[in-house]
Structure 1
Amino acid sequence: MQAGLGLHRTAVAGAFSFGLLLAALSAPRIGRWLDAGHAAAVFRAGAALAVAGLASLAMARGAFGLVLGWSLVGLAMAGLLYEAAFALVGRAFDDAGERLRALAAVTVSGGLASTVFLPLLAWVVDTVGWRGALLLFAASVVAMAVLLERQVLPVLSRPIALPKEAPAGVAHRKVPLAARVVFPLATFAAAGLTTLLVPLLVQRGQAPVAAASALAGFGLAQLPGRLWLLGGRRRVSVALLVWWPLVLQSAGLLVVAMSGGLVAAALGVGVFGLGAGLHTLARPWLLQGLAGPALAGRWNGEVARVQGIARAVGPVLVVAASATLGMPAVLVIVALVLLASVPAARSLASGARRP
């Protein structure tokens, strides 16, 4: 896009970041609509916005076209990606174990974005160009929307009522502060790792292709834990999902920061990815247990808003900090902050154990 439109790199990245910001800011409102039983309308609107946004990007001739396209795609992401899917799936399963397996199925499928679809996208762009690729994927969204309409929404979008035992004023309960801290910190840590890993390894003498290969392991490393949860039927410890992943992510960051070679860095990325893969499931499953199905959409949306902001500002902050402190020091600091959030995560897990 930068070469085809003759724009500065900052303008291209800025348009994308603006779309991410819109997705984050829209998440709480989308969650409330899902809680109110409007899942089908949210997904239909999201699909329409996605098609319009991809088509706008394909026809863009300058910065305004990029901002318009990414704005539409950002709003579409708020209605179609994990947050909306988690709320929809969570409401469809009363049993906590079955709900966890269903969420794992969603994240395993979502993991294909980095393990399969990203290389596929690169091949399509090489074959038909980035404009042709965008139009092709707009057509694929139309096909996805038809599939959703026929096979998914009639089953998963049934309205529900507040449980009879719900206390008065349940609709006004606020998201625990710990949830607003723990999950965005994990998102910030992931943004920091993916931003700094390749330049850190290149600085240490590794070839760019080898460094990128180590980063590619991040997506693969998230799958084993999710597949294990998808196939298992035993009860899962709340700690396994909520605070042990933070320990794994902290350990992975420390290994990367102190590693001297490619193998050790790849090992650190793998450990971090294993924790991140489990922690992705923790938020929707935990918040559903704490809030109940009637509030899960709003709570997920509010936490997702903070996570989206962390995802958008994370790369900028870690790059700015590394210019002064150095990349290894920044990774160590992020790891220590993540470890410091473990007590807050344990308090969340403790709350989930109560009936």
Structure 2
Amino acid sequence: MLHSIFTGPTRAITVLSVTQILGWGALYYPPALVSSLITAEYGWSFAVAMLGLSVGLGVSGLLSPYACGLVDKHGGNRVMAIGALIGACGLVGVVLAVDPVTYLLAWVLIGAAMASTLYDASFATLTYLYGPAARRPITIVTFAGGLASTIAWPATHLLIEMIGWRGAYLVFAALLAFVVAPLHAFALPRERIKDSAPQPAQQAAPPAKLLPPRGWPFVLIAAGFSMGAFVMSGIAAHLLGMLQRGGLDAGAAVTVGALIGPAQVASRFADFATKGRAHPLWIARGGMALMTLAFVMLLVAGISFPMAVLFAVLYGAANGIMTIARGALTLLLFGPVGYGHVLGRIARPAQILQATAPFVLAFAVEHASDQVVLAVSACGTLLALICFVLLKRPA
């Protein structure tokens, strides 16, 4: 078993678990701590600094169907390796940028890297390798990805204090170029993994009814995940700043942010322990209901350290199971054939909408208040919940 994890075909799970931590930690989470420093150094508005992340997420949404479609055809080796190298170039570009135009151009490269290296590409890679049996490997990989914020925010905070924000970005660029890219290129399996012979009970089971990836069900699933993505993107970019403006010091805010990862992993472990018996549609409904509760609670009770901890746990648990739901619900409703392209089509509106979140919420912070941000987030998760309630299971 141990030999298979590191050298057998199932090493894809090990490789992607490592690269998802590093990829999310390098590409997605640092702006929560770095944007305010860029604002102070260059004199740009906070909204302009956050616009970089918005541009990156928007580019990721536009390119996601194409990147995942390439994984469908060729596997993840070349696609994800090239994406990591592009991400390294983008991070170096942010370091070298001296005006908003070159700064945003660097984020275009980072967006291309997000489309080809983060969850959607890794889910497509696992489905390419495992076929209909990909749900369990997807869940395992999300265990590791859930720890990205827990590792990335404290690590970024420490690197900034030691070598500045530019030094931190150069470290992340090196990790992408010299660790993530080689792992994708040389360690990911290239051949599809053959399932063992099915058991009699499996042979007797009727085939699942699949839906065509269009029409009202497709619109509802895309809209539900899009609204959830908007909220999760905005909170990832602004949570630490809101906590500090609410009275927590920087260390306490980072501590609260670091709790989100373990909460994500705990909720994903619950799905893993039940061996995927819960229908992904009910998982999505439960996740959005829990997230709505978290925002309403923080909006009503206000920010304090105990309430922030409770919010982080509830929000992290909901975020964790929503990641599983996105991969598993798409696979269950629409099937493994062309999975990467279908997932990319679902991801496109989600990532374009979430691309607006850092900028829109930064504008709201500057011109309104953090309470408005929390209210907008609660409304977004409620709309997502309504979409999943309206979505019906196929017969």
For the aligned pair, the TM-score class normalised by the smaller chain equals: 0.7 to 0.9
Q: 1:203 to 1:61 in 2, by over 3 A?
A: closer
Q: Who is 1:255 aligned against?
A: 297
- 8 Å Cα contact 1:7/1:62 also seen in 2: no
Change in 2 beyond 3 A, CA 1:59/1:213 = same
- Of 316-325 and 184-193, deviating more is 316-325
Q: Residues 295 and 311 of structure 2 are in contact (CA less than 8 Å); yes or no, is this contact kept in structure 1?
A: yes
Letter in 1 for 2:290: L
* 1:310 and 2:345 matched: no
* Residue identity opposite 1:146 in structure 2: P
Does 2:135 align with 1:100? yes
Distance 1:338 1:135, change over 3 A: closer
Aligned equivalents of 2:179 and 2:278: distance in 1? 36
Among candidates 144, 151, 165, match of residue 187 of structure 2: 151
- Note the C-alpha offset of 1:219: 3.0
Whether contact under 8 Å (2:54, 2:359) holds in the other structure is no
Aligned residue type for 2:172 = F
Structure 2 residue identity aligned to 1:48: L
1:223 aligns with 2:265: yes
The alpha-carbon distance between structure 1 residues 252 and 35, as it changes in their structure 2 partners (threshold 3 A), is: same
Equivalent residue, structure 2, for 1:214: 256
Task: Give the CA deviation at 1:206.
Answer: 4.7
Q: Which deviates more, 143-152 or 51-60? A: 51-60
- Give the match's secondary structure for 2:354: helix
Residues 1:314 and 1:60: Cα distance change in structure 2 (over 3 Å):
closer
Aligned residue pairs total 342
Could you report, residue by residue, the CA deviation over 1:124-155 in whole angstroms, capped at 9, with x for unpaired residues? 33333434433333332232222222221424
Query: 8 Å contact 1:252–1:272 — kept in the other structure?
Result: yes
Contact 2:265–2:320 (CA under 8 A) maintained in structure 1: yes
Structure 1 residues 154-165: aligned runs within 5 Å: 154-155=190-191
Quote the offset at 1:294 in angstroms: 2.0
Once the two structures are overlaid, the 10-residue window that deviates more, 241-250 or 301-310, is: 301-310
* Cα separation, partners in 2 of 1:296 and 1:347, compared to 1, 3 Å: farther
Mapped pair 1:177 → 2:219? yes
Equivalent position of 1:271 in the other structure:
314
Change over 3 Å in CA distance of 1:104–1:346 after alignment to 2: same
Q: CA deviation at 1:281?
A: 0.9
Deviations 1:284-305 (A, max 9, x none): 1111112222222122112212
Q: Which moved more, 1:241-250 or 1:132-141?
A: 132-141
State the 1:329 CA deviation: 5.8
- The residue aligned with 1:161 is none
Q: Which runs of 5+ in 2 are unaligned?
A: 1-36, 195-206
1:238 alignment partner AA: P
> Shift of the alpha carbon at 1:176?
0.5
| Structure 1 match to 2:337 | 294
Letter in 1 for 2:141: V
The RMSD of aligned alpha carbons is: 3.4
Runs of 4+ aligned residues of structure 1 deviating over 6 Å after TM superposition are: 322-325
Query: Hey, what's the Cα distance between the residues in 2 that align with 1:325 and 1:264?
Result: 22
Which shifted more, 284-293 or 111-120? 111-120
Q: Equivalent of 1:138, from 167, 170, 173?
A: 173
Letter in 2 for 1:50: G
User: Under a length normalisation based on structure 1, what TM-score does the superposition of the two structures give?
Assistant: 0.81
**Greater shift in the superposed pair: 33-42 or 188-197:** 188-197
- State how far apart, in whole Å, the 1-side matches of 2:252 and 2:106 are: 33
Q: What is aligned with 1:118?
A: 153
Shift of 1:178: 0.5
Taking only the aligned residue pairs, the percentage that are identical comes to 26
- Is residue 29 from structure 1 mapped to residue 71 from structure 2 by the alignment? no
Candidates 39, 44, 48, aligned match of 2:81 = 44
The answer on 1:91 being equivalent to 2:114 is no
Alignment TM-score, normalising by the size of structure 2 = 0.74
Report the 3-state secondary structure (helix = DSSP H, G, I; strand = E; otherwise coil) of the residue aligned with 2:278.
coil
The CA deviation at 1:8 is: 1.4
Aligned to 2:92: 55
The Cα of 1:193 is off from its aligned counterpart by 4.2
* Structure 1 residues 318 and 105: CA distance shift in structure 2, 3 A: same
Q: 1:79: which partner in 2?
A: 116
The question of whether the paired residues in 2 share the 8 Å contact of 1:56 and 1:65 is answered with yes
- Is the 2:280–2:328 Cα contact (8 Å) retained in structure 1? no
